A and B are shown apart, each in its own frame.
Chain A
Amino acid sequence: GENVEQHPSTLSVQEGDSAVIKCTYSDSASNYFPWYKQELGKGPQLIIDIRSNVGEKKDQRIAVTLNKTAKHFSLHITETQPEDSAVYFCAAITSGTYKYIFGTGTRLKVLA
């Protein structure tokens, strides 16, 4: 079946450095790619998303890139801060369905 691979599973960075999380999806019909942030003890929260007709999207310190040919998409966080520490999930959805396929998550630790 469809799946989304996410790497790395854990990532530690120094405050102020950049963090990159990568995902690969299998279903070529996927066309919507959100990223969620989950803080300890809470449900995931959408932080940014990208559609298949766009190669890059930026929102302040967060950016997402998409390579449809390679079926890769990545989350980039610049100037990381301690409050960026959380688990991040990527996901892929196929338009016309409501079937969400999530990656396995990346635990990001920003060291002060």
Chain B
Amino acid sequence: EAQVTQNPRYLITVTGKKLTVTCSQNMNHEYMSWYRQDPGLGLRQIYYSMNVEVTDKGDVPEGYKVSRKEKRNFPLILESPSPNQTSLYFCASSRSGTAKDRYEQYFGPGTRLTVT
């Protein structure tokens, strides 16, 4: 089944404790992206990657890191999480090709992160 998976789905952690949220897709997609979703603010792009070893900042990159060493994986790293990073996080992927292909994103199920 074609899908984007994220782990963990739920995470409660404390301020300053480094964490990684994994994202993996089995569709051989070139493009991948991370978003956070907060009430009243919609979805905001954190980082995106247009191919292996190519990443760029989205709208809200502060406090986050990403890497794209393999095509299928795009982990999100919080080196020193703070309470304002409590949010619902989504990973998404899309394929290269036409503009519609590139921009038709497939989203993972989400990771709910709480930082106390």
Cβ contacts A to B, 9 pairs, < 8 Å: A42-B110, A43-B4, A43-B92, A43-B109, A44-B90, A89-B43, A100-B43, A101-B45, A104-B40
| Cα A44 to Cα B42 with chains together (Å) | 11
CA distance A89 to B35 in the complex (A): 13
Report the minimal beta-carbon distance from B88 to chain A, rounded to whole angstroms: 10
CB B39 to nearest CB in A, in angstroms, measures: 9
Q: How many A-B residue pairs have CB under 8 A?
A: 65
Complex formed: what's the CA distance from A53 to B53 in Å? 33
Which of A14-22, A60-68, A72-80, A91-99 participates in binding chain B?
A91-99
B86-116 contacts to A (CB < 8 Å):
90, 92, 99-100, 102-105, 107-110
Roughly how many angstroms separate A46 CA and B101 CA in the complex, as a whole number?
Answer: 12
B110 in contact with A98 (CB, 8 Å):
no
Q: CB distance B33 to A43 under 8 Å?
A: no
Q: Count residues of chain A with CB under 8 A from any CB of chain B.
A: 25
Tell me the bound Cα distance from A87 to B93 in angstroms.
20
Contact, CB under 8 Å: A98 / B104: no
Give B93 Cβ to nearest chain A Cβ, in Å. Answer: 11
In the assembled complex, the Cα of A44 lies from the Cα of B110 at a distance in Å of 10
- B21 near A: Cβ within 8 Å? no
- B103 near A93 with CB under 8 A, answer yes
* Residues of A with C-beta under 8 A to B110: 41-43
Most chain B beta carbons < 10 A, residue from A9, A44, A103? A44
Return chain A residues, CB-CB under 8 Å to B31.
Answer: 98
Docked-complex contact B90 and A89, CB < 8 angstroms? no
Chain A residues with CB under 8 A of B56: 98
Complex Cα spacing A91 to B109, Å: 19
Chain A 1-33: CB-based contact to B (< 8 A → 1; otherwise 0): 100001001000000000000000000000010
Q: Given A45-B107, A49-B104, A51-B99, check contact A102 B90 (CB 8 Å).
A: no
Q: Contact check, B43 vs A44: say whether CB atoms are below 8 A apart.
A: yes
**Contact between B44 and A102 (Cβ–Cβ < 8 Å)?**
yes
Q: Is B50 an interface residue (CB 8 A)?
A: yes
